[in-house]
Structures are given as C-alpha cells and as structure tokens.
C-alpha cells in the first residue's frame, strides 16, 4: 500500500513539474464585437436588441471621443494622448481589447457595445448555447438580476468621475436603451 501511495505522489510531482505546477485554465473569452452579436439579435421577434443599440448614444460613444469638444476636455484634464487614445476616456467610451482578447470582427470604434455589459462573447455566442440561459451564463454571459444591478453597472461609467457628467437619471434613461428579449 505504501508503495502505491509513493507512486501516486511521484506521478503527482511529475505532473506538477511538466504543467508548471497547476492545471492549465481554459483560455479567456474573447470579444466578438457587436456585428457578430447582431446576427441573432436584430430580429423583432427576438427583441431587436441590435436596433435599440444602433439608435442609442452607446453606438456613437467612441466617435464622441474624436470630436473637438473631446479634444478640449482631454487637454483640460492634462491627458498626454488624444481622447480616443486615452485609457481614461476609453474605459467608458469603448471596449479596448488587443488582438489576444478579440476576434477578427471586433472593432473598438463600435463604442459601448453589447459585451461592455454582457462580457466577452466567444464562448457563449453559438445559438445552441444562447438558447440555454444557464449554459450561456456558465460560458460567460453576464445577465443582471434586477434594475438595481443594471443601474449599478451603468453607474460604473455614468458617474461624477466623468468630466462631462450630468445628473444620471437611471429611471428616465434606462427605458431608452432597455433591450429585453420577449417572452416566448
């Protein structure tokens, strides 16, 4: 019996040495971009979440950073880069992902897109996964349980840290971008 335990311990040590000491974690989800999400989320019967997004200021959030007003704000804040290149601005106006974090269809210029709130979609993007809510959530889809959770997420950007912040009225603004999936 002692011999078997010694063999198991030796094999475990060998495994730790060859794997770097721990089991490899699966690769992190990648951003797929709003164009990929739109393939399934533009139908009226599915809720037309893409159409709601297209009409929102979130769709033009990155573009806002390329305006003369944004240049003024960046200069006044003492930023060393243009607004559309500054992490301080981009953190709320776009998803910034490098090539390792993003699939080909992803474009930072699409601004505040689906995955800004719902998490990178590479692992939950398939229709098979999305049809099973629990499976989609397990694969990384972020869903908010109630209005308070949604409001808290919104306030990670819509707050007084923004140099252009105006009072954030969640109850007035949420209906403009609410994008529920209709009950089947």
Q: What is the pTM of this model?
A: 0.80
Q: What is the mean pLDDT of residues 52-80?
A: 96
- Cβ distance 59 to 176 under 8 Å? no
CA distances from 74 to 45, 66, 87, 148 (A): 42, 11, 11, 32
**3-class SS at 18?**
helix
* Domain 27-177 architecture: Orthogonal Bundle (1.10)
Cα separation, 17 vs 23, in Å, equals 11
User: What is the per-residue pLDDT across 5-35, written as a single tens digit (0 to 9) for each?
Assistant: 443 444 444 444 444 444 444 568 999 999 9
**3-class SS at 102?**
strand
């Amino acid at each position: 019996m002692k011999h078997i335990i010694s063999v198991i311990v030796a094999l475990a040590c060998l495994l730790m040495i060859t794997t770097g000491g721990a089991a490899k974690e699966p690769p992190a989800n990648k951003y797929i971009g709003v164009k990929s999400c739109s393939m399934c989320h533009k139908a009226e019967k599915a809720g037309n979440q893409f159409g709601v997004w297209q009409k929102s200021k979130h769709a033009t959030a990155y573009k806002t950073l390329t305006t003369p007003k944004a240049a003024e704000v960046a200069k006044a804040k003492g930023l060393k880069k243009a607004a559309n290149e500054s992490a301080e601005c981009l953190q709320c106006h776009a998803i910034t992902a490098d090539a390792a974090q993003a699939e080909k269809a992803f474009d930072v210029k699409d601004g505040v897109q689906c995955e800004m709130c719902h998490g990178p979609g590479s692992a939950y993007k398939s229709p098979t996964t999305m049809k099973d809510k629990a499976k989609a959530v397990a694969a990384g889809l972020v869903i908010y349980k109630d209005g308070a959770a949604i409001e808290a997420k919104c306030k990670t950007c819509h707050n007084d840290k923004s140099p252009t912040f105006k009072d954030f009225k969640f109850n007035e603004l949420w209906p403009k971008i609410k994008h529920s999936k209709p009950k089947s």
